[in-house]
Chain A
């Protein structure tokens, strides 16, 4: 993957204040307060059904909280227009779905849709991509190592390749906030580590606010700066990684025994030649 220029750090955070959400009378999130600061990778951890994905769908404006507010920087998310919100927040879903046989390049250009129409009125009317959009898409394809797939149909790719294409779509938008929902599950080890290192770089060198849902505690320990630990619709703990991922807290939340002396299997990135 290409190194990033260290220029233009952006400082945009997201916060949720006292949000509650439920389906019918089944509460999913209860009085959740959390902060996602810029320049850091915040891992959202928790057992199945703890409300992680629901929280993410509220962050990106797909679900509306029944109580409480979501802030994008200083502004309320509800007061930001759809298009503005879409240019600020990029999202990568857990399992990408695409109807019809779009090519990889077309899929990645869809990531530039919020910035469409920059090249003139006819482009704006038809919602067409311009030169900048194609340059960003090409860059993102190189970064995610999918440039060689550009002309292929998305549906013909393997699960891991599809996931990389979907990540590239979000990266192409170059938004200050990046929301990722268990995106490394079908990546091979090399691509997992490359991508996580890239994420850390995006946050640390370019000031991106990265929110990353994962079940891999070892990887969270390695690559995240902060952790928001959820259980049963509530935030149990949020702080720096080292102070949250401790046996006491993990044992209560995950109902497992944590052996502090035991070493997890560790994989390290090869230093670039």
Chain B
């Protein structure tokens, strides 16, 4: 286990983590900005900082990747702590399936009533943001449903919450298949890439700023919950005896994690593995203390997703079109995680 900073001064120690994390993230961000195809989807790969137009496109996409990666990793730390389960990830609560149903319903609606929608200025304005809003609405509806199903005696119960999430995810899976039959043939490719997660240069700047604001707010809130989450790793009786208001803490942690996940789904669709493995890797290296994890894991998540998305951008021409970034996180992150798993018992 690696511990930076002095034991006698925990605040200073935490600041060291943040400084190192921010520095590494900046370095990777610059690297990712400097790499990429000359034009989006183009065959030639340019290295270095080229024309402002291209840099602006790359900046949008790389920062979207950083925000989504950080939000997913933070959400993973919160959910694994809340559910006391190292297998939990941001999608175990059915939030992503909810988002997918939202997007699916939107595609069905827009392909059926497209003309009517565009005629109405209000609806047209909303639909300008593409899949962002339907994904956000679907995710939020799903997490609200899971919240109300996951309670016992008026309080969130980790096991009930987990079961409710898994079952809602399965129901949404059925709905997705049902709606898929209604989607016209031409829109199906669009849909498939959404289901694996895709970060776009076309992300509106406003959406990026909102995503960043959600991430920062979630970060502050998570850090405030970190100490209580540590104690909630003990039994409920012990946590209550130490003065932790378990009910309140769990509601806050659940909604904090849900908003972070919903935000990242709205930005990029459901990207798997980041929220599962980043908290794990950090826990193996830095120990299970939640405040420390919350300070480091978002940087690790941001770096991981920026690198994965840059790989996607560079290799776009090799695969006859860009891969969904979720494919890369699964194919690179998964085996790496299994390798770590074989070296160390992560369940402890």
Contacts and interface: CB of A to CB of B under 8 A. Distances in A.
Chain A interface residue number, banded = 35 or more
Contacts of B10: 123, 126, 128-129
B234 interface: yes
A71 to B, nearest CB: 18
B233 A102 contact: yes
Nearest to A120: B11
A106 B289 contact: yes
Q: How large is the interface on B (under 10, 10 to 19, 20 to 34, 35 or more residues)?
A: 20 to 34
Given A100-B283, A100-B288, A126-B223, A91 B237 contact: yes
A144 interface: no
Contacts of A96: 234-235, 238
Interface in B146-191: none
A127 B243 contact: no
Q: B231, B237, B291: which has the most chain A beta carbons within 10 Å?
A: B237
Given A83-B243, A122-B11, A129-B10, A101 B237 contact: no
Interface in B299-325: none
Nearest to A125: B224
B76 interface: no
A131 B7 CA distance: 10
A86 B243 contact: yes
A177 to B, nearest CB: 11
Interface stretch (A57-65, A196-204, A212-220, A238-246): A57-65
A24 to B, nearest CB: 12
Interface string B226-248: 11101101111110111111000
A57 B348 CA distance: 28
Looking at chain A's contact residues, is the secondary structure mostly helix, strand, loop, or mixed? mixed
Q: Which of A57, A82, A83, A100 has the most CB of B within 10 A?
A: A100
Given A99-B84, A127-B228, A113 B243 contact: yes
A61 B241 CA distance: 7
B223 A86 contact: no
A256 interface: no
A113 B348 contact: no
Contacts of A160: none
A103 interface: yes
Interface of A: 57, 60-62, 82-83, 85-87, 89-91, 93, 96-103, 106, 110-111, 113-114, 116, 122-123, 125-129, 131, 134, 153, 155-156, 179
19 contacts: A57-B237, A62-B236, A62-B237, A85-B243, A93-B238, A97-B238, A99-B85, A100-B288, A101-B287, A102-B288, A102-B289, A106-B287, A113-B231, A114-B243, A122-B11, A125-B223, A125-B224, A126-B223, A156-B348
